[in-house]
A and B are shown apart, each in its own frame.
Chain A
Amino acid sequence: MENVAHGGMHVSGGIHHEVELSAWPFVTAVGSFLLPISFMLAFSWGMSHLGLLVAGIALVVVLVGLFGWLNQVHAKKGETSISKIAIIIFICSEVALFGGLFAGYLYTLLPAGVWPPANTPAGVPPIGLAVVMTVFLLTSSATIHNAESQLEKGSAGGTSAWLMLTSVLGLAFVLCMAYEWHHLISDGFTVSTNSYGMFFFLITGLHGSHVIVGLIMQLFVLLMVKQGKMSKNRHVFATVTGLYWHFVDVVWLLVVSLIYVIPYVKLGQ
């Protein structure tokens, strides 16, 4: 990697800037381009083995790109305030994504009259498990908050302890979800069962993937804390991870209300 150190760097309003060459955005984009190509190889052009191979390559390329990128970013001084603003702006975009799907769900639910549709198996939605999952996730919001306070106090040990607890709770949530999906599908409740089924898996799946992304971010923060790369005055990525995690929790409350509670109380019956 060729880094071009620059003579013309200036600090203005606490903002530090440097221009350089970086291969990682290009690498990440190449991987992102190969992912859809792999899908089309497998599903549109009937070459499923090649598709699988390309998908594997694409994933590796994306991960290499992102990892190299993060490494390069971390080699520099980040600005907490800018990254914090950026992640809040990004979360607005995520709100729109979930908002659009929730709106689509309500658009399908409201004219249906009976919700969930009559052919939904008994015991769906599994509300008991949802309560447990809610407890896990809400607790984890508190623990990640504690991790951040410890980081601001400068205690690496406290930070990693609270962070690990957060990750364990998050992981427990994902495992519950995996168990729930497995259980539901073997009971014959799938995306093709009815309109409730498709939205159930769509929205819980989307949320679950956000939880997994949050967990990967936590893992990265944890590694940096362990290596002493994060300190009181340098914890951009921890702040970003915290905000993202809180967002994922808030969305879960909406998921529970709309996807679990409304069908549980059997609207319209």
Chain B
Amino acid sequence: MNEPKGFKSWIFTTDHKKIGVMYLVTAMIFFVVGLLLATVMRIENMDMSRQVIIGPQLYNVAFTIHGAAMVLFWMIPILLGFFANYLVPLMIGAHDVAFPRLNALSYWLYVGSGLIAVLALVMPGRLDTGWWAYPPYSIKTTANIAFYVFAVHLLGASSIAGAVNFITTIVTLRAPGMTWGRLNLTVWGIFGAFIIQLVGVPVLAAGVTLLLFDKYLGTSFYDAFKGGSPILYEHLFWFYAHPAVYVVALPVFGIVSDIISTFSQKKVYGYTSMAAAIMVITVLGFETWVHHLYVASTENWSRVLFMWATILIGVPTGIKTFNWLATLHKGSIDLKTPMLHALGFISLFTIGGVTGIANGSVGFDIHVHDTHWVVAHFHYVLAISMSMLCIGGIYYWFPKVTGKMYNESLGKFAFWLTLIGAMIAFLPQFHLGIEGIPRRYWKVPIRYAGEMRIAAIFSFIAILGFLLTIFNILKSAISGPKAPANPWNSKSLEWQIPSPPPFYNFEEIPVITEGPYEYGKPEGDVKKGH
């Protein structure tokens, strides 16, 4: 085995594992950036009567870059960059992805986009538009909207290249015997997510390009005075940005299933319904975006239609949640750190999911639209729950990626900090929302100051938990004890090879004889190389 070494072997690599690790490191840097910005905002929330550290203008910049960093540069890249890269070839039994060079290009475009996002935070013309950059404000503000547009362009090109690459990989490079019914649910989730990227990203890219044209070329696509419409942007934006939630959610659903199955030593309950639910959400996810526009002079028929589609998403999502619980039932449960994160995810996600159903109904949404309720809702359903699960996934595959073990007690301690902090940090904001307090204001009325202070304090606890986790990961990657090939006794294919995997993954392409969750069978039945 002639594995390249040194600096060049990273910069010029086309190996999916190395690219995966580079995604992991880069995404974690943006996660820290996002966490620090959250900290700054929460410090500002500690006292509603005076400026604590930043003024309103920088507060706008902080939540803009916080949102963009967390969604676009942490969650999507950690899932479709790190997990997809590292795991898909290992799980389907391939040497690499279909187009290794294109894979490297995807990574470097992501880095370029991230650099532009950093410029948008530190250069004059700091972005203060919110992560959605609605016109007319985004065109009229002195903030430099070009940062936003080009960051989306580079990231979009990266995502489309990734989508073409991974969909092709999953369709064509499955090992002999790796039927669609034997794929890990993680692979199913990644497959669905990339389909959304493929179809959604170009529409967002088109939408933001028109922002640039309006600002610099004298067009008026979004100018209502000249025959355009700012609402058009909202449609184009949310056509991608709502399904983007499922870009994050679908791989997360898959990873939860894998973790729960392993640590219950039990077959995933209702595998077919799990895979089907992922594909149903992939399709249905595109029929819900108008629920972001209930108050944007949307026709009633359209509101009702999209309300039903939105609430309908609760059905496949509910199926998944019940299946996870059914998988746990009578399993031989081992509460290792990854498993704790999976269970923590389910509890946070359920709160977010149930409030989402409420949010999807037109009448209620009109009341809480753009209030703190929404902030609370999506931090439960997406932001914290799914970040927590991403961390759980990193812990789960940490021995595979690094060949070392992380610190179990520090992992558990950090988990409880994050869970307790996250559970309480956003509860007061549901109340503020119902009271009608709009979000994104740097100060709320003084009578809610106490609630916001509680929210702030618990968010610090959650953030501390995340930072401890990152410390644990870094420290264990450098000096953790050596990990066995399969510390969790998993039946999934990636655990049947050494940790870390050899340069070429598989000495020979394996022949697959059964699915990844066949627990409770005699040892000899595990799939092997032929």
Chain A positions within 8 Å of B, measured between CB atoms, are: 2, 4-8, 10, 12-13, 15, 17, 19-26, 28-30, 32-33, 36, 39-40, 43-44, 69, 72-73, 81-82, 85-86, 89-90, 92-94, 96-97, 99-101, 103-104, 107-108, 112, 117, 191-192, 194-195, 198-199, 202
Contact = CB atoms under 8 A, between A and B. Distances in A.
A33 B164 CA distance: 21
Can you list the 5 inter-chain pairs with the closest CB atoms, starting with the nearest? A29-B108, A195-B227, A36-B150, A33-B112, A97-B202
Contact of A191 (B2, B202, B218): B218
25 contacts: A4-B4, A19-B14, A21-B13, A22-B12, A22-B104, A25-B101, A32-B109, A32-B112, A33-B154, A36-B146, A43-B146, A44-B144, A85-B168, A90-B160, A90-B164, A93-B163, A93-B164, A93-B198, A96-B203, A104-B207, A107-B235, A195-B221, A195-B226, A195-B227, A202-B210
Nearest to A196: B227
B66 to A, nearest CB: 22
Nearest to A1: B12
Contacts of A6: 2, 504
B101 A73 contact: yes
Interface residues of B, number: 77
Contacts of B13: 21
Nearest to B10: A21
Contacts of A81: 172
A71 to B, nearest CB: 12
A19 B235 CA distance: 42
A254 to B, nearest CB: 15
A40 B150 contact: yes
Given A36-B150, A40-B146, A195-B226, A100 B236 contact: yes
A69 B172 CA distance: 22
B443 interface: no
A6 B15 CA distance: 13
Contacts of A191: 213, 217-219
A89 B168 contact: yes
B167 interface: yes
B220 A82 contact: no
Nearest to B212: A39
Contact of B220 (A12, A72, A92, A195): A195
Contacts of A29: 105, 108-109, 111-112
Nearest to A11: B509
Interface string B1-29: 11110001101111100000000000000
Interface stretch (B91-99, B264-272, B329-337, B392-400): B91-99
Contacts of B8: 2, 21
A72 B9 CA distance: 17
A214 to B, nearest CB: 18
A193 to B, nearest CB: 10
B206 A21 contact: no
Contacts of B227: 108, 112, 117, 194-195
Contacts of A12: 175-176, 509
A100 B208 CA distance: 12
Interface of chain B, main secondary structure: helix
A19 B217 contact: no
Given A90-B164, A192-B218, 7 more contacts: A6-B2, A26-B12, A86-B98, A89-B164, A90-B160, A107-B232, A198-B213
A44 B125 contact: yes
B507 interface: yes
Contacts of A103: 235
A89 B167 CA distance: 8
A85 B99 CA distance: 12
A89 B163 contact: yes
B226 A26 contact: no
A32 B228 contact: no
A126 to B, nearest CB: 21
Contact of A10 (B12, B216, B509): B509
Contacts of A101: 206
A101 B206 CA distance: 7
Contacts of A99: 203
Most B CB within 10 A of own CB, among A30, A89, A192: A89
B280 interface: no
Contacts of B198: 89, 92-93, 96
A41 B173 CA distance: 44
Contacts of A10: 95, 508-509
B212 to A, nearest CB: 9
Contacts of A4: 2-4
Contact of B1 (A7, A40, A194, A202): A7
Interface in B74-132: 94-96, 98-105, 108-109, 111-112, 115-116, 125
Nearest to A69: B101
B163 A100 contact: no
A103 B111 CA distance: 32
B157 A32 contact: yes
A240 to B, nearest CB: 12
A21 B207 contact: no
A44 B172 CA distance: 45
A39 B206 contact: no
A30 B108 contact: yes
B115 A33 contact: yes
Given A26-B108, A89-B164, A192-B218, A104 B98 contact: no
B176 to A, nearest CB: 6
Nearest to B2: A4
A190 to B, nearest CB: 8
B153 interface: yes
A96 B14 contact: no
Contacts of B221: 104, 108, 195, 198-199, 202
Nearest to B106: A25
Contact of B203 (A43, A73, A97, A194): A97
Nearest to B209: A202
Nearest to B125: A44
Nearest to B221: A198
Contacts of B95: 8, 10, 17, 19
A137 to B, nearest CB: 22
Contact of B228 (A26, A82, A108): A108
Given A15-B172, A40-B146, A198-B219, A97 B205 contact: yes
B164 A22 contact: no
Given A10-B95, A198-B213, A24 B220 contact: no
